[in-house]
Every structure is written in structure tokens, then in C-alpha cells.
Amino acid sequence: MSKRALSVGILTAGLSAGLVAGAISPAAAQGNPVGGSGNVYYLGGAGSIGGKAQETLVFGDPGDEIYFGDWDNDGVDTPMVNRNGVFHVANKDGKTIDVFAYGNPGDRVVIGDWDGKNGDSMAVVRTEQGSNKFYVKNDVKTTGKADAEFFYGDAGDNLLVGDWDGNGTDTLMVTRPDTSFHVKNDTKTGVADYSFFYGNPGDNVIVGDWANPATYTDGNGADQIAVRRDGNHYFLSNELGKGKAITALRDFYYGEPTDTVFVASLPSTVGKVGDAKVALDDVFATHKKGEPVLRLHPTTGVILAPELDSFGDPKTYAGGEAKAQFKGAPKYYLGTEPVLTADGKPMVYVAVGDADEPHEVELPGPSVPRSEAGDYDLNADGSLKYVAGDDVDSPAVLGTDSSETIAIAVGDVVLQRRGAPVEHVAGTPAVYELAGEYVANTDVETSEIGDYKLDANGNPIWDADANDWVKLTAPVVKVGGFAPGTPVTERRGEAMAINASVYTPAAALRTFTGTVSSTASTVTVSDGNFTAADIDRDIDGTGIAAAAKITSVQSPTTVTVSVPNTGPVSGTITLPAVANGWSVAAPVSDDELRNAYIFDVAPAASYVPTATDKKVSDLDADTKSEPPIYIGTERVLFAAGDDRSVAPYAGGERVVSQKKGTIFLNADGTRVKLSAGDVEILGDGLGVRRNFGR
């Protein structure tokens, strides 16, 4: 599996003609010298989906001319240095294991597995009579003459080396400025076996036998191509072949935009036998050969019957083309996604009677249906099923519960139903969308009649004459509404419909017998030792009105009481004992209510509030007693009764068969476990060359 791309230069491309390419850094590939400088090599591995390197290798000097190849035929590429025609071959540990000479100083050298027996070796390329002549050496062990010679292509052609047909030997492909590719499947002098056009003029291409880690699929021994854009964004193609359409197998980011990039074979270990098989990346659906090409009406967006060719026959797919969602198609679950609570925690099954937390669900039985009546009917690859015919404007739905079930047990994560419509989770922030509870681009009353009128600082306005707060007599309207994705906020001046429960901490009986004096509103006692904790406590004694409470503590000896004293206060003053507890939860009318916590239902008497419990006094920043009012910036949360539908597809999004991070399921609904063939992914990955310290 020798995967060689020989172009070095500015690499820009998309996966089809017409993509706009961005400026990026130099990129080198196997076959030609890696380019750049440095002696530190970061290898991504066959299973890379971007991110950190799988392995780091140090070899040679920073200015060396470096090649990567599989010199010992073990499926792993390692570096080789060319110093004036003398080659130094490294093993996987970066140690030199062979030194030999070949060709002349200054010769152009390309790398490939030319005989399919001994691993990668060199071919010297020289120009003779306007053509490229190749002198092939089939090992990296000995100095000597060429083992084979042949001509292919014209002088100046851009050369790519790869095993295009998967037969175990590398051959050549040339690219030309008109974006044509000319493939030769043997190393004999002659013409191309087939040609195709691809990309934009000036594009540069790298070559590799790409695995698909999303499906745990190894590279199959046949090389494909990849293009790089936006500096470090790579698009890896599907299989090449005569008459095949080239599309993106997958794409990811790797390294930095300034990196020099190459390709190297390196297996990736992704788990151990018996682990749950989890999608390492999104798995995309593709069309099968012969499937009809459906089309949308250009104005109504209605899905019509298959598109017809110039002969009046239905158009069909060649096979392998990416499936895309139609404009307006609903979003749906694939049946492998976890059900989440509002705080993002996955829900799990627990034994009957053990569901104490919001993310716990009692196990309903040994299995549950994969889908229910009303869920969307999906094809095996996860795409929506449409019934062939005219004016098919919506996908098919199930008329009955699915006969397929998912086996479940205590501890399993609760999964969404396959084909169930995607909805926003109750308790999560709402946004305006093209459908659902909060519709975008539609007039919205940001304040309604009867809402409180607020000043510029967001405070309600008091009308002394009316002895009441000022309220709106006309609505405030946002004409045209809000764009999709805009957060939904509470109405400005809307009264908060919240309940609160007042917490009373336990307190022991306290009696004071020192010198007592008072005014109508205060009680002073020489041995009082009052603290802020005494606020709201009952106070009793001669001359103190019934039901009097301490409303403030002026000093350790003086307190203010809620009811004027009935006469001179004297004798013993008592603060009766108080039991720990909570008042009945009731609507809040004062945003400075002391020791009041926002609860719809009062907690148990033994519950002690924590820092995470929200107090009524936290509703605004000031300390003035006012009605609890929204100022129009608070986020609205989806409620359980809302229409929580999400916006439909815009059209063109790739159809996902299995989402990254979700568990693969067998046909009977049981979880798939990794087999011996799954724990290692074989194929090629990207590498970058850097100096120490980068």
C-alpha cells in the first residue's frame, strides 16, 4: 500500500470544479521530498479525524532531504534521508537501519512500491527526448543498477504515484494544467489506461489509501486523492476508477496553515475487543447505483417525480454520490442519540422505584420499540423515505409502532426513537426559528398591554397620585420580528409569574432580663446581644404588641419591631424558639422578600438552602421593594407544553447515517461490541514536518 503524491507547492482546492480556493502554505506528499525544514515529524495515523498527532518521530537533520515510505513492507511508513545520492533509511524508532547509494547526485527521485514484493523503493526520473524516463530500483538494501526502466508522460508533467487499482503495485498518474488526470495501471511504456477531469487549474493533490474511521473501515489497498484548502482543511476522496464520480469521503482539519504536509502509512488503535463500538466521526449516506434522481420544484419546493434526461428516461445515480437533504425536510433522530436533560446530562434506565434524579428513568421492560407511530420512516442508511410519484411534499411516516425493538437494561443510556422528530429539550433556551413555538421574521409584541412601564434603567415607575405602579395601555411591537437563531427573551415589563418559599432556620429560645427601654417602634435591652439572624423572629414581653416581629437590628442592644409597642416595655423580653422549616410556596409580589427562595413547591422542612438555590432578592441588583419584573433581556426557556420543533433543513446538508459519538446497534437493537478486526484501523494518514519548539 504505497501512497504517493509528488506535487510540492501551494495546494488549493475543493472537491469539485468551481470551489473557491484560499491561500495556504506549502504542502508536500510522499514520493517527492517532504519539503520544508526540521527533523520532527507529527504523524496523524489512518484513524485520524483531526486534532492531535498519533505519533511523533525525530530523525536526521533539519535541512535534510526527506522521503517517507514503507521500506520493509510492514505497513508502516518511516523516513529516509537523501544526502547526495546516498540514502539513509530509518525504522519506526527513528534509528538508521540501512545505507546505500543509487543514481547520481542531483537526480530527481520518486518513491513507490514498484514490484509489490519488497516494499517502497526509488525510481530516478530523467528527461529523454521530451519524455520522462524512469529507472526503478526494487529495494532499499543494496547499491546497484536499475531493475526496470520505462517511459511515461511528458517532461514537465506533474507526477502522482499510487496503487490506483489495488493490485499491490504502484504506478503513475500525470496531471496537466487543463485539470486532466491520466492514469497508468502498469509500469510499461505506453498510453494512459483512462483519464478524467477534476478540480480547478493550479490545484495540487495529495495521494493516500484513506480509511474511514467513522465506520471502522480500513484502507483497501487502492489509492485515492485528497485536496487541501483554507490552510489546514483536507477533503479526502472516495475510490477512483474509470467512469466514477469523485466525491468527498470525509473532511477534517489537521495541523496549522503554515505546516508542510505529507502522507504516511500508520495504523491507528481505537479500542480493545469487547468495547462498545462508537462512531468516531459522522457516517454519511451515499446513493446506490440506479437510484432515481428526485428534484424540487424551483419555486414551491415540492419534491417531484424523478428528473428526466434528454431522452425522457428517469435520471439515476451512478453510485457513491453523497445523499443530501431536501430544502424544508424535517430534522429527525437516527435512534442512536442519547435523550438529554436540560442540563445536557444523558438519561439512564434505573430499577423500578429508584428514579430519584431528573436524568433517571424507571426501566419499562426488557425492550422498547425503536420507532412509534407517527415517527418518520427511514431507509436503512438513515435517509428519509419518500414515496415515488408527483407532488411528494413530505416524507413517509409510520402508521404503527415499529416491530423492531431495542434491548435495554438498568444502567443503559435512554436512546431517542429512530425517526422521531427532533425537538428542543424542555428547559433549554429558546430561539426564533422558521417553525415551532417562536417563529422568526414575524411581528412580536416585546411588551403587552398591562405590562409595567419601565424607566431607562429598567425600574418600574411609581404613580403617587394613583398610589400604584404605571402600566402600559398599548403594546410595543417589533415589526418584522427577529431573524432565525435570535434568542427569545421575556417581555420588557412583564410581571414574573414565580412562586417562592420563605426559609426559617431553627433558633433556640432566648430570654433577656437586663434594663429595658423603648419607643413606639423600638425595643432596647442592655443584655440583648441581637444579631442579623434575629430579623423576622417573633418578640414577646410586657408592652410588646401581639404578633410583633423584629424587622431590623440597629445595634446589639436595639431592635426595630413591626408593630408599635402597646405601652412601656419592661420586664423579661423573649424570642420564642423557632423550628427549621419552609412556608407554603406562594406567588411573589415583593422582589426583596427576605429569606425567600424561588421554588414552585416548598422543600422538605429538613432541607437547608445552598448557594445554588436562587433567592428572590437576586432577581434584580437594587434593594428597593418592587414587583418582580422582567426587563426584556432574560432568556426564555422552552416549556414542556411548547411546540419545540426545530427549523427544517435548508437543503443540501449531507445525510448522516450514524452521528459521531453514538453507539452502533445490531439489527436486534443490542449494542455492537468491537471485534478483533475493529480495534486497529489500517491505511494512510497525514503528517507534518516541523522544527523543535514549534
- In angstroms, the CA 274 to CA 254 distance is 30
pLDDT of amino acid 27: 41
* pLDDT confidence of residue 11: 22
Q: Over the stretch 435-483, which tens digit does the pLDDT of each residue have?
A: 889 999 999 999 999 999 999 989 999 999 999 999 999 999 999 999 9
Least reliable range by pLDDT among 120-129, 290-299, 385-394, 663-672: 385-394
Question: Edge-to-edge, what's the strand order for the sheet holding 570-575?
Answer: 510-512, 570-575, 540-542
How much of the chain, in percent, has pLDDT values that exceed 90?
43
**Whether residue 12 is found in the same domain as residue 64:** yes
Evaluate whether residue 459 is within a structural domain.
no
Question: Regarding predicted confidence, which is higher, 148 or 492?
Answer: 492
Instruction: Please give the residue that has the higher pLDDT: either 327 or 478.
Output: 478
Mean pLDDT confidence for 552-564? 94
The confidence score (pLDDT) of residue 619 equals 86
Please name the residue ranges forming H helices in 313-468. none
pLDDT band at 269 (very low <50, low <70, confident <90, very high): very high
Task: For 533, list phi and psi in degrees, rounded to 5.
Answer: -65, -15
User: Phi-psi bin for 380: left (phi > 0), alpha (psi -120 to 50), beta?
Assistant: alpha
% of the chain residues with pLDDT over 70: 92
The DSSP element (H or E) to which 572 belongs, if any, is strand 570-575
Residue 390 has pLDDT above 70, yes or no: no
143 shares its domain with 159: yes
**What is the per-residue pLDDT for 300?**
63
Estimate to the nearest angstrom the gap between the alpha carbon of 136 and the chain centroid: 47
pTM above 0.85, yes or no: no
Residue 13 lies in a domain: yes
Dump pLDDT digits (tens) for 589-599. Answer: 998 888 999 99
For residues 205 and 250, membership in a common domain is answered with yes
Q: Are residues 129 and 223 in the same domain?
A: yes
* Residue 268 and residue 281 in one domain: no
Tell whether 25 and 167 lie within a shared domain.
yes
| CA atoms of 152 and 133, how far apart (whole Å) | 7
Residue 525: inside a domain: yes
pLDDT of residue 28: 43
The C-alpha cell at 342 is 436540560
* Same-domain status, 252 and 104: yes
Mean of all residue pLDDT scores within the chain:
86
Of 126-135, 161-170, 357-366, the range with the lowest mean pLDDT is 126-135
Whether residue 377 contacts residue 400, with contact meaning beta carbons closer than 8 Å, is answered with no
Beta strands in 413-515 (DSSP E): 444-447, 462-463, 468-469, 476-478, 499-504, 510-512
Query: Of the given ranges (224-233, 539-548, 609-618), which has the lowest mean pLDDT?
Result: 224-233
Q: Out of 27-36, 38-47, 290-299, 409-418, pick the least confident.
A: 27-36
Domain ranges, residue 509:
501-618
Q: Are residues 283 and 264 in the same domain?
A: no
Give the CATH number of the domain where residue 232 resides: 2.130.10
199 and 255 fall within a common domain: yes
How many domains, in total, are found in the chain? 3
- Mean pLDDT within 151-159: 81
How far is residue 281 CA from its own chain's centroid? Answer: 10
Give the residues across from 487 on adjacent strands. Answer: 431
Do 183 and 326 lie in a common domain?
A: no
- Grid cell digits, residue 17: 470544479
Q: Is 341 a domain residue?
A: yes
Using an 8 Å Cβ cutoff, are 106 and 164 in contact? no
pLDDT tops 90 at residue 259? no
